[in-house]
């Protein structure tokens, strides 16, 4: 049973131009996506740079204006209440960012950074608040004296742990994680991901995991949606997507994951040639019901690099 439903969400940004600076077109950043979230499950959002992943996350949390569509949380339409900083929705849906450093006030000590969500939502006494901060630091494996330090005194991995501590301070139900490890070294990436998995199990958290790294998403998620130009071209279980992809775009993304072994590389190359051949045959799939063309340009280098990094660390 899902606790939250996203229905036909659209986020369009107007493009202005001309002498009178009028709206001449729109960027269809998110163009009609629907999702449901169940307790304890992890959902992945994958796609190339610019396909609308971050806009989706930010619009759910209330950082972007929604053009149309709705968000239903525990039976209530919260689409227009997302910016109410004291609502249950704001307490229960939290976000962690790729760049945890810039999401923390550099002039505040860790204890004040962690206290912020606690003060907004939990109304604790100063003693209880201090206990909760110690508890959060213990959960993310940081020593108690970390609370007296400033963000710049921590490594990238430690800062990401502090970002997670802040996100879980209010016992949320869903954490939206936007590329949470892509700025970290490979070994630290694995540590943070495993840690996120541990707390997911322990606290029954749900994740919306945004990434362009198919290896990371495979490791973390139960369900995956493949996004292209603001829409989902395919959604399914991890097994559906990785073992039996239907859409040609998904097949192309998967075939772009390189293999570290020479044998595997050969196999991948053959698969890729086959996928590209089918791309010519299935060309008609590149027009959606509105006639918009899916002019799939070659999968970008950034994609390839990210996929390489996950393959190097095992890719699962
Ligand atoms: N404030 C804005 N005004 C106008 N266009 C925007 C704005 N924010 C994002 N966009 C556009 O919306 C589209 C989706 O952007 P978004 O950041 O969601 O992509 P993404 O999939 O998260 O990309 P990346 O993986 O590079 O972060 C892009 O074309 C982007 O240029």
Condensed to tens digits (0 to 9), the pLDDT of residues 191-240 reads 888 889 988 998 899 999 999 888 889 989 999 999 998 999 899 999 99
Closest ligand 1 atom number to CA of residue 55: 18
**Cα separation of 250 and 79, whole Å?**
30
Closest ligand 1 atom number to CA of residue 230: 14
Condensed to tens digits (0 to 9), the pLDDT of residues 120-162 reads 888 889 999 999 999 999 888 889 999 999 999 998 888 888 9
Task: Name the DSSP letter for residue 300.
Answer: P
What is the per-residue pLDDT for 10?
96
Closest ligand 1 atom number to CA of residue 64: 1
Least-confidence region, from 76-85, 153-162, 287-296:
287-296
Burial class of 115 by CB neighbour count within 10 A (0 to 12, 13 to 18, 19+): buried
Question: Measured in angstroms, how far is the CA atom of residue 30 from the centroid of ligand 1?
Answer: 9
Tell me which residue has its CA closest to atom 25 in ligand 1: 49
What is the per-residue pLDDT for 29?
94
Binning pLDDT at 50, 70 and 90, where does residue 282 land? low
Tell me which residue has its CA closest to atom 7 in ligand 1: 13
Q: Is the pLDDT of residue 303 over 50?
A: no
Residue predicted with more confidence, 101 or 290:
101
Which of 15, 17, 27, 61 for a ligand 1 pocket mutation test, highest count of atoms within 8 Å of Cβ?
27
Question: Measured in angstroms, how far is the CA atom of residue 66 from the centroid of ligand 1?
Answer: 14
ipTM: 0.96
Residue 51 beta carbon below 6 angstroms from any ligand 1 atom: yes
Which of 10, 45, 46, 51 for a ligand 1 pocket mutation test, highest count of atoms within 8 Å of Cβ?
51
| Mean pLDDT to the nearest integer, 283-310 | 42
Question: Measured in angstroms, how far is the CA atom of residue 78 from the centroid of ligand 1?
Answer: 23
Closest ligand 1 atom number to CA of residue 58: 18
Q: Is the pLDDT of residue 66 over 90?
A: yes
Residue 61 beta carbon below 6 angstroms from any ligand 1 atom: no
Binning pLDDT at 50, 70 and 90, where does residue 270 land? confident
Tell me which residue has its CA closest to atom 8 in ligand 1: 55
Least-confidence region, from 36-50, 243-257, 267-281:
267-281
Tell me which residue has its CA closest to atom 17 in ligand 1: 54
What does the buried/exposed string (b/e) look like for 235-273 if buried means 16 or more CB atoms within 10 Å of the residue's CB? bbebeebbeebebbbbbbbbbbbbbeeeeeeeebeebbe
Q: What is the mean pLDDT of the chain?
A: 83
Output the six-digit token pair for 234. Answer: 């395919």
What is the per-residue pLDDT for 191?
82
Residue 98 beta carbon below 6 angstroms from any ligand 1 atom: no
Least-confidence region, from 183-187, 266-270, 307-311:
307-311
Compute the residue count for the chain: 316
CA 217-220-223 angle, to 5 degrees, is 70
Q: By the 8 A CB rule, do 99 and 163 touch?
A: no
Question: Measured in angstroms, how far is the CA atom of residue 301 from the centroid of ligand 1?
Answer: 18
Q: By the 8 A CB rule, do 194 and 23 touch?
A: no
Q: Is the pLDDT of residue 98 over 70?
A: yes
What is the per-residue pLDDT for 262?
64
* End-to-end Cα distance, the chain: 28
Residue 52 beta carbon below 6 angstroms from any ligand 1 atom: yes
């Amino acid at each position: 049973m899902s606790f939250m439903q996203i229905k036909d969400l659209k986020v369009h940004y107007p493009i202005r131009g001309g002498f009178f600076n009028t709206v001449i077109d729109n960027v269809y950043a998110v163009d009609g996506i629907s999702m449901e979230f169940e307790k304890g499950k992890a959902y992945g959002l994958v796609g190339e740079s610019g396909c609308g992943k971050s806009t989706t996350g930010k619009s759910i949390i209330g950082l972007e204006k929604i053009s149309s569509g709705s968000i239903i949380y525990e039976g209530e339409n919260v689409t227009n209440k997302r910016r109410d900083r004291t609502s249950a929705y704001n307490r229960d849906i939290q976000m962690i960012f790729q760049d945890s450093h810039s999401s923390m006030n550099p002039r505040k000590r860790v204890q004040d950074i962690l206290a912020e969500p606690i003060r907004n939502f939990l109304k604790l006494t100063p003693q209880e608040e201090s206990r909760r901060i110690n508890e959060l630091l213990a959960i993310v494996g940081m020593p108690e004296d970390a609370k007296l330090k400033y963000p710049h005194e921590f490594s990238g991995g430690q800062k990401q742990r502090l970002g997670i501590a802040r996100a879980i301070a209010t016992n949320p139900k869903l954490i939206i994680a936007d590329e949470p490890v892509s700025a970290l070294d490979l070994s630290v990436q694995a540590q943070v991901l495993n840690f996120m998995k541990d707390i997911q199990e322990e606290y029954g958290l749900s994740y919306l995991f945004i990434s362009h790294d198919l290896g990371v998403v495979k490791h973390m998620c139960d369900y995956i949606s493949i996004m292209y130009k603001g829409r989902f071209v395919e959604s399914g279980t991890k097994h559906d997507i990785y073992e039996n992809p239907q859409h040609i775009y998904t097949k192309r993304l998967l075939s772009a994951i390189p293999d570290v072994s020479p044998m595997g590389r050969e196999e991948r190359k053959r698969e890729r040639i086959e996928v590209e051949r089918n791309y010519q045959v299935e060309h008609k799939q590149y027009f959606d019901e509105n006639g918009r063309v899916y002019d799939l340009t070659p999968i970008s280098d950034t994609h390839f690099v990210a996929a390489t990094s996950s393959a190097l660390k095992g890719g699962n």
